[in-house]
Amino acid sequence: MRIDTNGQGYLINRDRDVIKELKEVGVDKISVSLNAHDGETYNQICRPTFDDAFESVLDFIEKAKDMFKVEVTAVALPEVDISKIEEIAKKMNVQFRAREYIQGFW
C-alpha cells in the first residue's frame, strides 16, 4: 500500500511515531511531495503552517527510507529548480519523479 504525503507528519503529530504507525498498518511505499529545492522556495510555494517544515520533510524522508520504498516528487513549477530536487533525492538514495506543471491548475 502506498501513501502520498507532504512529509509533515512529525510536525503535525509531534508526540507520535508516524513512521512506525504507517508500517504497522501495512504501508510499504511512501511518496513525498517535496516541491522545492530549498526552505525559502518551499515556504513560498507550499505556505506551510510550521516554520521548520522543509527541514522536517527532509528528516521525514531520511527516517522513512529505512522502512519503506520512498519516492520524492515535485511539480515542475517555473520557480522550482527540478534538477536540485532530483539531486536531493539522489543524495538521500530515494527515487525521484517530476510532475508536470499545468498552467492554471496550480
Query: How do residues 41-98 score in pLDDT, each as one tens digit?
Result: 999 999 999 989 999 999 999 999 999 999 999 999 988 999 999 999 999 999 999 9
DSSP string, 19-79: HHHHHHTT--EEEEE---SSHHHHHHHH--SSTTHHHHHHHHHHHHTTTSEEEEEEE--TT
Structurally, the chain folds into a number of domains equal to 1
Q: Is 16 part of a structural domain of the chain?
A: yes
**Does 73 reside within a domain?**
yes
- The answer to whether position 104 is within a domain reads no
Residue 68's CB: how many other CB atoms inside 10 A?
Answer: 20
Instruction: Give residue 32's domain range.
Output: 2-99
Query: Taking a C-beta distance cutoff of 8 angstroms, is the pair 58, 35 a contact?
Result: no
Question: Are 38 and 90 in contact, with CB atoms under 8 Å apart?
Answer: no
Q: Whose CA is closest to 83, among 71, 94, 74?
A: 74
Within-domain flag for 106:
no
Query: pLDDT digit string (tens) for 16-43?
Result: 999 999 999 999 999 999 999 999 999 9
User: Which pTM does this prediction carry?
Assistant: 0.90
